Amino acid sequence: MPAGLVALALGGFGIGLTEFVIAGLLPQVGRDLAVSEAAAGWLISGYALTVAVGAIAVTAATAGLPRKPVLTALVVLFVLGNLLSALAPNYPVMMLGRVVAALCHGSFFGIGSLVARRMVAPERASRAVAVMFAGLTVANVLGVPFGALVGERWGWRATFWAITGIGIVAVVAIAVLVPGWAGAVEGGAGKAGAGDGAEGAVAVGMTGGVAGGTAGGTAGGLPAQIRAMRSRQVWLTLAATALSYGGMFGAFSYLAYTFTEVTGFSDTDVAWLLVVYGCGLVLGNIAGGRGADRNRDLTLIVSLAALAATLAAFGLLASSPTASVILVFLTGLFGFAPVPGLITRVTDHAHGVPLAAGANVSASNVGNALGAWLGGLAISAGLGYTAPLYVGAGIVLAGLATMLLAAHGSSRKIP
């Protein structure tokens, strides 16, 4: 495994911690900064909204720039945001720190996925993306308990100091370990590879090593990137991304209520149940990357079908503790399995432009917001705490239909 992938995974781990850790710290932060629960909750919502907007805006603003320096600068921005949070004397400064940190999130994973796949042979592209996202999935498992543990022992600010330290290590690791050629931007169309010309670009490093990767594709400025986004396949894949994330997150947002109000678990059980879910995410990420490198569209279709079936079964069997533990693990497994393939699919059909990778992250966050909103509406309508699971299954089925349409309409098979 290239050391540069490990550096990107470390960056992803730190950024993932920033996203998830706040959930376990909200009571402490709210009390210390003297704000209501609703205001404290905006430290989560504000972060997510900034990710959705920033993924496209920051990626567009850096169009045409060499990707390694951009990635390094993004992690520096992440460090500054968490430093602001650690030092925040009041709520506005704390919110500013969250927004600054969130600005780097979408673009890091979008641009980083392009750099990651250039460090490996083309047939291992999805696995390379999965390695980078492994940091995010591990952060999902450890984020809330890590924040709660450190916060309880040394205070919530100590958590953000720790994440700032992780960010500094990630900056150094990316600067040292990610090869410059993996982050270079090619001019012109590049070499045509398999599919629609997006897999070409084989870069030769200074050591003589060869790394396959994305797109020799359309690297240029913003107008060229926008032109590359016109493909119907790009928009179908973005829609499938939003719907797959929306279905999973619509169910995930209310799992604590399902566990305590339907299954009968105690509040203290929720933390380890979410760890089970996170373990499913980690394994789903690995399996999804491997499967996508063998047959991407089939892996996406099977994963989405399995996720819809799992959520529906969860709704039916939520009163059983044993079934709930198994099904929450499978929700994580099938929920994250499509992620590597969706990223490589959208960037391939957009000829490797960073804007497509950023748009993919934005689509996932839009889906998250949609799923959580629809799940909340179902509960408010008096349909019970299993309703978000059924709503999630319905959203994923819409994503599956979209993916089937995309696969059928793809004029050429892209591995």
Q: What is the CATH number of the domain that holds 389?
A: 1.20.1250.20
Q: What percent of the chain is predicted at pLDDT more than 70?
A: 86
Report pLDDT for 222.
66
pLDDT bracket for residue 92 (50, 70, 90): very high
Return the ∠ at Cα 346 (arms to 250 and 300), rounded to 5°.
Answer: 55
Cβ contact 189:218 at 8 Å: yes
Report pLDDT for 230.
78
Domain extent at residue 254? 224-409
Classify burial at 1, counting beta carbons within 10 Å of its beta carbon; exposed 0-12, middle 13-18, buried 19 or more. exposed
Q: What percent of the chain is predicted at pLDDT more than 90?
A: 28
Domain contains 311: yes
Average pLDDT score over residue span 25-43: 78
Average pLDDT score over residue span 41-54: 79
Domain contains 398: yes
Q: Looking at 182, 216, 250, which one is the last position of a domain?
A: 216
pLDDT bracket for residue 320 (50, 70, 90): very high
Comparing CA positions, the residue from 313, 298, 323, 291 lying closest to residue 389 is 313
Distance (Å, whole) CA 152 – CA 313: 37
Q: Looking at 216, 239, 257, which one is the last position of a domain?
A: 216
111 has a pLDDT exceeding 50 = yes
Report pLDDT for 214.
39
Report pLDDT for 200.
33
Instruction: Say yes or no: 152 and 50 in one domain.
Output: yes
Instruction: Say yes or no: 123 and 26 in one domain.
Output: yes
Cβ contact 364:242 at 8 Å: yes
Instruction: Say yes or no: 275 and 398 in one domain.
Output: yes
Domain contains 303: yes
Instruction: Say yes or no: 174 and 95 in one domain.
Output: yes
Instruction: Say yes or no: 105 and 241 in one domain.
Output: no
* Backbone phi and psi for residue 178, each to the nearest 5 degrees, phi listed first: -80, 120
Cβ contact 118:182 at 8 Å: yes
Cβ contact 178:197 at 8 Å: no
Report pLDDT for 211.
32
Instruction: Count the neighbouring beta carbons within 10 Å of the beta carbon of residue 298.
Output: 13
Comparing CA positions, the residue from 84, 245, 213 lying closest to residue 161 is 84
Instruction: Say yes or no: 91 and 161 in one domain.
Output: yes
pLDDT bracket for residue 221 (50, 70, 90): low
Instruction: Say yes or no: 168 and 145 in one domain.
Output: yes
Instruction: Count the neighbouring beta carbons within 10 Å of the beta carbon of residue 408.
Output: 8
Name the least confident of 110-114, 195-199, 274-278, 406-410: 195-199
Instruction: Say yes or no: 210 and 71 in one domain.
Output: yes
More confident residue, 26 or 183: 26
Token output for 168: 């500094």
Can you give the pTM of this predicted structure? Answer: 0.71
279 has a pLDDT exceeding 90 = no
169 has a pLDDT exceeding 90 = yes
* Mean pLDDT across the chain: 80
Domain contains 178: yes
Distance (Å, whole) CA 333 – CA 140: 13
Q: Looking at 216, 246, 271, which one is the last position of a domain?
A: 216
Report pLDDT for 195.
35
Distance (Å, whole) CA 378 – CA 385: 9
Instruction: Count the neighbouring beta carbons within 10 Å of the beta carbon of residue 34.
Output: 9
Instruction: Say yes or no: 125 and 184 in one domain.
Output: yes
Domain contains 348: yes
Distance (Å, whole) CA 305 – CA 163: 37
212 has a pLDDT exceeding 60 = no
pLDDT bracket for residue 402 (50, 70, 90): very high
Name the least confident of 30-44, 225-239, 390-404: 30-44
Instruction: Say yes or no: 211 and 118 in one domain.
Output: yes
Domain contains 415: no
3-state secondary structure the chain: CCHHHHHHHHHHHHHHHHHHHHHHCHHHHHHHHCCCHHHHHHHHHHHHHHHHHHHHHHHHHCCCCCHHHHHHHHHHHHHHHHHHHHHCCCHHHHHHHHHHHHHHHHHHHHHHHHHHHHCCCHHHHHHHHHHHHHHHHHHHHHHHHHHHHHHHHHCHHHHHHHHHHHHHHHHHHHHHHCCHHHHCCCCCCCCCCCCCCCCCCCEECCCCCEECCCCCCCCCCHHHHHHHCCCHHHHHHHHHHHHHHHHHHHHHCCHHHHHHHHHCCCHHHHHHHHHHHHHHHHHHHHHHHHHHHHHHHHHHHHHHHHHHHHHHHHHHHCCCHHHHHHHHHHHHHHHHCHHHHHHHHHHHHCCCCHHHHHHHHHHHHHHHHHHHHHHHHHHHCCCCCCHHHHHHHHHHHHHHHHHHHHHHHCCCCCC
Distance (Å, whole) CA 301 – CA 312: 17
What Rg do the C-alpha atoms of the chain give, in angstroms? 20
Report pLDDT for 403.
94
Cβ contact 353:228 at 8 Å: yes
Domain contains 414: no
Instruction: Say yes or no: 19 and 158 in one domain.
Output: yes
Comparing CA positions, the residue from 372, 384, 406 lying closest to residue 41 is 372
Domains in the chain, number: 2
Instruction: Say yes or no: 26 and 169 in one domain.
Output: yes
Residue identified by tokens 């059983």 is 320
